[in-house]
Structure 1
Amino acid sequence: MIKLHVFVAIFLGFRRPVLLGLLMSGSLLMGAAKATPISLDKHRDEQAVQRVQDWQSLIAHSLQLNDVEKLQVVNAFFNRHIRYGEDAELWQQSDYWASPQETLERGAGDCEDFALAKYFTLRLLGIPENNLRLVYSTLTAAKQTHMVLGFWGNAETEPVLLDNLSPAILPIAQRRDLQMHFAFGETHLYRFEQSNLQVVGKAEFLPHWPALMTKLKHDGLFIVSGSASPVSRLFHLAANQTAQSFAAHKL
Structure 2
Amino acid sequence: MSFFRAVLNQYLVLICCLFIAATIRSDGFLEIFTPELLAKVTKDYGEEAATRVSKLKRLLERGQNLSEGDKLKLVNKYFNKIAFKHDKDHWGQEDYWATPVELLATAAGDCEDYSVAKYFSLRALGVAPEKLRLMYVKAIRINQAHMVLTYYETPDAMPLVLDNLTNKIKKASERKDLVPVYSFNAEGLWQSKALNRGKRIIENSQQPWYELLERIESGY
Same fold (TM over 0.5): yes
> Taking structure 1 as reference, are residues 144 and 219 closer, same or farther at Cα in structure 2, changes over 3 Å only?
same
Say which SS state the counterpart of residue 65 (structure 2) adopts: coil
TM-score, with length taken from structure 2: 0.77
Q: Once structures 1 and 2 are overlaid, which stretch shifts more, 92-101 or 193-202?
A: 193-202
**How many residue pairs get matched?**
198
Secondary structure, aligned partner of 2:167: strand
2:50 is the alignment partner of 1:49:
yes
Q: List per-residue Cα deviations over 1:126-158 (Å, max 9, x = no partner).
A: 101100000000112332000000001115742
Alpha carbons 1:135, 1:149 under 8 Å: kept: yes
* TM alignment of 1:216-231, pairs within 5 A: 219=217
Aligned twin of 2:61: 60
Aligned to 2:136: 136
**Structure 1 outlier segments of 4+, above 4 Å:** 8-11, 22-27
Cα offset for 1:192?
A: 2.1
Which residue of 1 is the match for residue 111 of structure 2? 111
Gaps of 5+ in 2: none
Where do 1:81-100 residues align within 5 Å? 82-100=82-100
Seq. identity, %: 31
Distance 1:142 1:203 in 2: 33
Q: By percentage of residues, which structure has more helix?
A: 2
Matching residue's letter, 2:171: P
Partner residue, 2:73: 72
Q: What amino acid does structure 1 have at the position aligned with 2:183?
A: A
How far residue 75 of structure 1 moved from its aligned partner, in angstroms, is: 0.4
Offset, 1:6: 2.9
Task: Give secondary structure in 2 for the equivalent of 1:115.
Answer: helix
Q: What residue in structure 1 maps to residue 198 of structure 2?
A: 197
TM-score normalised by structure 1 residue count: 0.68
Alpha-carbon distance between aligned partners in 1 of 2:7 and 2:148, rounded to the nearest angstrom: 17
Which moves more between the two structures, 47-56 or 134-143?
A: 134-143
Displacement of 1:122 in angstroms is: 0.3
Tell me the secondary structure at the aligned position of residue 153 of structure 1.
coil
- The unaligned stretches of length 5 or more in structure 1 are 28-40, 221-240, 243-251
The Cα RMSD (Å) is 3.5
Report the 3-state secondary structure (helix = DSSP H, G, I; strand = E; otherwise coil) of the residue aligned with 1:77: helix
Matched residue type, 2:181: H
**What letter is aligned with 2:66?**
L
The one-letter amino acid paired with 2:59 is L
In the TM superposition, residue 202 of structure 1 has moved relative to its aligned partner by 4.5
Within 5 Å, give how 1:201-216 maps onto structure 2.
201-202=202-203, 210-212=209-211, 214-215=213-214
Larger-Rg structure? 1
SS in structure 2 at match of 1:196: coil
| Matched AA of 2:57 | Q
Contact 2:97 2:212 in 1 (8 A): no
In structure 2, relative to structure 1, the CA distance for the partners of 1:183 and 1:46 (3 Å cut) is same
